[in-house]
């Protein structure tokens, strides 16, 4: 082992996000993956569940009870699991990135409202920096604990942030129509993910009260306390990816030039934001298909002049910018690496 490298362990490496973390970190020049845990697959090679890693690593899953201290710990556990053992994880490592929902909220009552159960470590809420580098870069650099955003939340926030911050849109209505790939539901099989039920479906599975609504509002209220959003989620026949179509209304008679100015003001130097609005061609607006495997968030827009409606469109790979890739971006900031390290993949076409 190269002692100069950052040692990183992954708790919960058997799921799709765990597999993406492995894929990215195995090619990261500054990282040594120390351990990867799984209760159900202890002793098996990681390539047993993540066959794309065949021949790349000899790592095997270990039990969480056998976890050793390392430089940075990434928790890729189901929602509600991290908080039950957070003292244990903090005793092992000084720096933690949690990709579950457990520490995204500042208040226990918000967690309980959106997740329907009591928070078991409310004293830790507020100690985690919310992990969106494009907004909280400096806080993440010096953070010990980072909470990764939800996949639908991060793309919606990145789309709305410039306009809420600069008070260009009305506080209400803001309607987020999210179309989601099947991998966002995780690797555990369910009735809804059974192939005869999932294939060919365009299923409105959460037309109201989507969990990420509270997360999105909590962030946006920092910049405008009066803001309110409504989220509807639809499952479509796509494995990876999220496309959000966000309906907002301008506070003044705006035009394309005004919108471009605001987007460039906030994002022109961001390495993983790609602004997409073209007058011709097949991919004139953001498209999940062209960002698969990347840490890129594409953002585009269209103005309907007669109604002053500003439609904002965003696309990400939910497993990368929506989870594992964004975690690596945060890790790079925390460890002092160049922010793009290990995340340079530009995607494939066609796929």
Listed as ranges, residues in the chain with pLDDT below 70 are: 1-3
Domain holding 195, by residue range, is 151-318
- Whether residue 301 sits in one domain with residue 223: yes
d(CA 293, CA 299): 17
pLDDT score for 194: 87
Q: What is the CATH number of the domain that holds 17?
A: 3.40.50.720
- Whether residue 312 sits in one domain with residue 183: yes
Q: What are phi and psi of 93, to 5 degrees?
A: -140, 145
- Whether residue 303 sits in one domain with residue 185: yes
Q: What is the CATH number of the domain that holds 263?
A: 3.30.360.10
**Active-site pick, 62, 70, 117, 151:** 151
Q: What is the pLDDT of residues 32-81, one digit of tens each?
A: 999 999 999 999 999 999 999 999 999 999 999 999 999 999 999 999 99
pLDDT score for 189: 84
- Whether residue 279 sits in one domain with residue 161: yes
Is 306 domain-assigned?
yes
Is 351 domain-assigned?
no
pLDDT score for 56: 96
Q: Which H/E stretch holds residue 334?
A: helix 325-335
pLDDT score for 1: 42
pLDDT score for 3: 57
- Whether residue 172 sits in one domain with residue 120: no
Whether residue 151 lies in the annotated active site: yes
- List Cα–Cα distances, 171 to 166, 212, 230, 251, in angstroms: 12, 18, 11, 9
d(CA 287, CA 11): 31
d(CA 330, CA 327): 5
Q: What pTM was computed for the model?
A: 0.97
Number of domains in the chain: 2
- Whether residue 245 sits in one domain with residue 104: no
User: Which residue bears the tokens 């991919």?
Assistant: 283
**Angle, CA 54 vertex, CA 49 and CA 58 arms, to 5°:** 90
Is 326 domain-assigned?
no
d(CA 152, CA 22): 22
**Angle, CA 214 vertex, CA 24 and CA 309 arms, to 5°:** 95
What does the DSSP 8-state code read for residue 307?
T
- Whether residue 175 sits in one domain with residue 91: no
Is 254 domain-assigned?
yes
pLDDT score for 38: 97
Is 144 domain-assigned?
no
Q: Given its phi and psi angles, is residue 292 left (phi above 0), alpha (psi -120 to 50 degrees) or beta?
A: beta
Q: What are phi and psi of 16, to 5 degrees?
A: -65, -40
pLDDT score for 188: 86
Q: Considering just the CA atoms, what is the radius of gyration of the chain in Å?
A: 20
């Amino acid at each position: 082992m190269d002692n100069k490298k950052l040692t990183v362990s992954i708790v919960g490496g058997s799921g799709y996000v765990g597999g993406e973390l492995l894929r990215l970190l195995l090619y990261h020049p500054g990282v040594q993956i120390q351990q990867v845990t799984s209760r159900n697959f202890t002793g098996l090679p990681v390539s047993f569940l993540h066959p794309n890693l065949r021949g790349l690593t000899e790592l095997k899953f270990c039990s969480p009870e056998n976890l050793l201290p390392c430089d940075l710990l990434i928790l890729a556990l189901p929602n509600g699991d991290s908080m039950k053992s957070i003292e244990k994880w903090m005793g092992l490592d000084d720096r933690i990135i949690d990709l579950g929902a457990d520490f995204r909220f500042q208040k226990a009552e918000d967690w309980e409202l959106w997740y329907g159960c009591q928070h078991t470590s409310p004293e830790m809420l507020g100690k985690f920096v919310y992990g969106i580098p494009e907004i909280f870069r400096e806080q993440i650099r010096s953070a010990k604990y980072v909470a990764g955003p939800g996949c639908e939340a991060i793309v919606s926030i990145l789309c709305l942030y410039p306009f809420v911050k600069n008070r260009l849109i009305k506080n209400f209505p803001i309607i987020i129509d999210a179309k989601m790939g099947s991998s966002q539901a995780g690797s555990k099989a369910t009735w809804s993910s059974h192939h005869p039920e999932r294939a060919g479906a365009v299923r409105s599975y959460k037309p109201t009260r989507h969990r990420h609504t509270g997360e999105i509002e909590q962030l946006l209220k920092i910049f405008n306390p009066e803001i309110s959003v409504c989220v509807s989620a639809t499952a479509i026949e796509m494995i990876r990816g999220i496309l959000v179509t966000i309906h907002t209304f301008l506070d003044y008679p705006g035009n394309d030039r005004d919108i471009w100015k605001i987007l460039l003001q906030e994002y022109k130097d961001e390495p993983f934001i790609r602004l997409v609005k073209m007058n011709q061609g097949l991919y004139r607006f953001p498209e999940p298909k062209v960002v698969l495997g990347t840490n890129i968030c594409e953002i585009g827009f269209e103005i309907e002049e007669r109604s002053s409606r500003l439609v904002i469109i965003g696309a990400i790979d939910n497993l990368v910018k929506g989870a594992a890739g964004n975690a690596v971006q945060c890790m790079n900031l925390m460890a002092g690496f160049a922010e793009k390290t290990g995340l340079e993949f530009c995607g494939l076409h066609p796929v």
